[in-house]
Structure 1
Amino acid sequence: MLDVAVIEEAAAAEASLDPIRSRILAALAEPGSAAMLAGRLGLPRQKVNYHLEELERHRLVELAEERRKGNVTERIYRAVATSYVISPSALAAVSPDPSRAPDQLSARWFLALGARLVQEVGSLLTGTSRAGRRLATFGIDAEVRFATAADRAAFADELAQAVADLVGRYHDEAAPEGRNHRMVIGLHQIPAPSSAAAGTSAGPEQQSGGTHTTESDAGQEHRG
């Protein structure tokens, strides 16, 4: 079972978002049959069977084993992953494109960068998983607490300069065997726990001391 599976097809995304099917996916972190799931979830077995067939059709669950009980064969299913991420490619016609209006200070552009990161890394991860290979990535996750907004701005300036220096030092456009990588560095305010639980966006006065997070991730792109 994978830690994370990427859903790239619109039909599969729709299937996973159905409330009953999402409960079945969660329950199948531990393998089970339709009868076992019906008991766990308090649902009719016939309904569970129907939803299992749909989830299997979209490759969100898989057959783990078959058990023979007299004249009956019991099919045991398991989820293909413990968690799922829906790629923006599932909404290809309306997925965010950060190249449309690049603006380092725009939260919407930042969100578009994140969407592109999920789409690109998700696609690469799906391909390498099927080939039985590992995807080369590197990530940094850290928190920094700024005393003032001026400190935050100064930090952003120094970070931008440091990244520009590193990119200039290591980028080799003429390398015949080189592979292109994309690096995304983000800085955003961490919502207070109460705001996150309520699904709301809190202003600076609602935050716990203006805490921030810095995150960097580089995903390998395969060329040719």
Structure 2
Amino acid sequence: MLEIAVIEDPAAAEASLDPIRTRILRELVVPASATQLAVRVGLPRQKVNYHLRALEKHGLVELVEERRKGNMTERILQATASSYLISPQALASVSPDPGRFSSHFSAFWLLALAGRMVQEMGKLIAGAAAARQKLATFAVDGEVTFRTAADRAAFAEELGVAVTRLVDKYHDGDAPRGRRHRLVVALHPVLKPAKDPTQTPSGKEQDND
């Protein structure tokens, strides 16, 4: 089972977005039969089987074991991944192209880069899994609070200079056995926590009595 699988096929994406099938995928992180799933999700076994066949057809669940129970064979299924992402490839004709944007400060360019990363990493992970190899990847994730917009702009400029210096130092386009790597550096505001609907502007809970 993969930690994360990236869905590229539009039909598989459509199948995964059904709320019942999403619930089934979540439950099948642990292998189970249709009978066991029916109890967990509160649906008839026949209906669960219908959804399982659709998920299995698109490679989102797989058979891990068959057990004989009297005159019947019980199929034990498991999700092919713990989590799923839908690749922009599933919407190939309308997916964003990073080449359409020229501004390093464009939020849409950042979004297009993120989409391309999902698409490329999905293909790389699938290829590495098939070849039983590990991927050489690296990421940094953190938060920084700027006092002013001017500080943020200065930080972005210095970061760009530092990254360019490192690329100039280590990049060798003529290396006979060199392997190209994608480098993306991103900076964006952190999402604010969602407001609790039970809280008033003063911070006190609403009295619904």
Counterpart position of 1:36:
36
Give, in whole Å, the separation in 2 of the partners of 1:108 and 1:193: 22
Counterpart position of 1:16:
16
Counterpart position of 1:50:
50
Q: Deviations over 1:135-178 (max 9, x none)?
A: 11011111111111111111000000001111111111211211
Counterpart position of 1:116:
116
Aligned residues: 197
Counterpart position of 2:184:
184
Alignment of 1:57-72 (within 5 A): 57-72=57-72
Q: Deviations over 1:10-45 (max 9, x none)?
A: 111111111111111011111111111111001111
Residue identity opposite 2:19 in structure 1: P
- Tell me whether 1:175 sits opposite 2:175 in the alignment: yes
Counterpart position of 1:76:
76
Alignment of 1:87-98 (within 5 A): 87-98=87-98
Give, in whole Å, the separation in 2 of the partners of 1:58 and 1:70: 30
Instruction: State the 1:118 CA deviation.
Output: 0.7
Counterpart position of 1:86:
86
Instruction: State the 1:102 CA deviation.
Output: 2.1
Residue identity opposite 2:128 in structure 1: T
Residue identity opposite 2:180 in structure 1: N
Larger radius of gyration: 2
Residue identity opposite 1:96 in structure 2: P
Give, in whole Å, the separation in 2 of the partners of 1:71 and 1:16: 33
Residue identity opposite 2:177 in structure 1: E
Structure 2, unpaired ranges of 5+: 198-209
After superposing on structure 2, the runs of 4+ consecutive aligned residues of structure 1 that deviate more than 4 Å are none
Give, in whole Å, the separation in 1 of the partners of 2:179 and 2:130: 21
Instruction: State the 1:84 CA deviation.
Output: 0.5
SS at match of 2:188: strand
Q: TM-score, normalised by structure 1?
A: 0.85
Give, in whole Å, the separation in 1 of the partners of 2:145 and 2:159: 15
Counterpart position of 2:3:
3
Give, in whole Å, the separation in 2 of the partners of 1:29 and 1:130: 21
Give, in whole Å, the separation in 2 of the partners of 1:99 and 1:182: 15
Alignment of 1:157-168 (within 5 A): 157-168=157-168
Give, in whole Å, the separation in 2 of the partners of 1:8 and 1:126: 11
Q: Deviations over 1:62-95 (max 9, x none)?
A: 1111111110111011111110011111111111
Give, in whole Å, the separation in 1 of the partners of 2:55 and 2:115: 25
Give, in whole Å, the separation in 1 of the partners of 2:138 and 2:29: 28
Give, in whole Å, the separation in 1 of the partners of 2:169 and 2:157: 18
Residue identity opposite 1:122 in structure 2: G
Quick check: which one's strand share is greater? Answer: 1
Counterpart position of 1:219:
none
- Tell me whether 1:147 sits opposite 2:140 in the alignment: no
Cα root mean square deviation, aligned? 1.3
